[in-house]
Amino acid sequence: MSHRDATGFGGAADDGDDDDRAGGPLDDGDPARPRGGPPHPLDRLWMHPSELAAFAAPETRTRTRPMWTATLVAGAAGAILTLGVLGAVGALDRPAEHSATGPVVPTSAPMPTGAALALTAAHSVVAVSVHDARGTRRGSGVCVKRSGEILTSDRLVGKAKQIDVTTANGEMRRARVVGRDTTTDLVLLRVISDGKPTTATTASFGTQAALASTAPKAGDSVFVVGAPSPGDSEPWLSTGLVASTDSLVSVDSGPTTSGLLETAAASSTASSGGALVDRTGKVTGIVLAPINGSRMTYAVPISTALTVAEDLRAHGYTSHGALGIDGINAPGGPTVTSMVTDGPADLAGLRVGDVVESVDRRDVYTMSQLMALVRHDHPGQTVEIALRRGSAKLTMVATLTSTVTR
């Protein structure tokens, strides 16, 4: 028969020698007589948990304290050694660095941020102050293409006869209007001296902007950069995401065009005519004066603005697409009331009374929206016009002629 050792686990098996039992040799065979001595106290199937601690293996009790002691001694020795190494290299003398966004990563040079790159464009932004019968207005302008030439918002300048521009370093000059385009709300200014433009003056005035070669995409971060307010040395700066790259704006006696950049970045009259800057620090658009009733900021893409500037420089005006119709905002939609004989609409087959529903598959609900889409296109381009004539729905293609807005 086998029994368990003091730990409660199975001990060595009985070798079969009954003489080793406590009762001595076997009896004479009387079955009524008990065999062997009394059972061992641990020779039972169940033990109370409180009994186990008393029978713990001696080696277990004796090793517990020395093992913890050795661990503590080794840990202390390692800590002392680490402190010695840090002290030797001077690490303990440096102040701790903390960041709310994560651990500080040492670098050999500061990494530029989008805002820092946008501020570099501020050197190309000038303050524009205009004076007329309504008083003095102040906005911004951007030095583009040629030194001494500035693009800004036409609504800012208006019909003012006196225009002053001030660079980021405080240099001030008088400027005059080269040409204006009310469709895109852009005006081209040129710095003058004694009433006339001079090479000596314009060559040193302002810093030509670094222009973006590609347009931003919806969701990209952009910055609105304007000239500093009077008495302030810091430029106007706000940031936001591009909401659209093909927004439409239609304002009475103001911009009436599509294809505009739209962003939630804040703007004000101080930033009117300023720069819309992409995350690489390059100018990607010219900011329009705030649109009444809208909390969004709109900008003419720089590629469009440069094309307009070239026309204004060469002719004093620029041309836009025209359909050759007049109309009203009727309950059913923009309705044709008259057409130019042999004009684009007449040649395409439109009639008085037709209701225009879309231009190039973009829905229109007012005549100003229709004009904004058409004027964004160039003369000679074709447009697809969907209209309603009575109960019939028709689609026609018209080749645009040109119109001038100034």
pLDDT at 91 over 90: no
Tokens of 253: 């006696």
Query: Which pLDDT score, from 0 to 100, does residue 203 have?
Result: 43
Helices (H), 258-391: 302-315, 344-348, 367-376
Q: Tens digit of pLDDT for each residue in 253-271?
A: 789 999 999 999 999 888 9
The CATH class of 122-203 is mainly beta
Q: What is the mean pLDDT of residues 26-41?
A: 50
Q: Tens digit of pLDDT for each residue in 312-332?
A: 999 999 999 999 999 999 999
Q: What is the mean pLDDT of residues 366-385?
A: 95
What string of DSSP letters covers 138-197?
EEEEEE-SSTTEEEEEHHHHTT-SEEEEE-TTS-EEEEEEEEEETTTTEEEEEEEBTTB-
Q: Is 3.40.50.300 the CATH number for 319-404?
A: no
Q: How many residues does the chain have?
A: 406
- Of residues 128 and 228, the one with the higher pLDDT is 128
Tokens of 167: 């660079």
Amino acid identity at 302: I
Task: Assign a CATH topology to domain 221-303.
Answer: Thrombin, subunit H (2.40.10)
Q: Which residues of the chain are in CATH 2.40.10.10 domains?
A: 122-203, 221-303
Q: Which residues of the chain are in CATH 2.30.42.10 domains?
A: 319-404
Q: Tens digit of pLDDT for each residue in 51-90?
A: 555 544 444 444 444 444 454 445 555 555 544 544 444 4
Q: What is the mean pLDDT of residues 127-136?
A: 90
Phi, psi of 381 (to 5 degrees): -75, 155
Q: Tens digit of pLDDT for each residue in 297-315?
A: 999 999 999 999 999 999 9
pLDDT at 101 over 50: no
Tell whether pTM > 0.85.
Answer: no
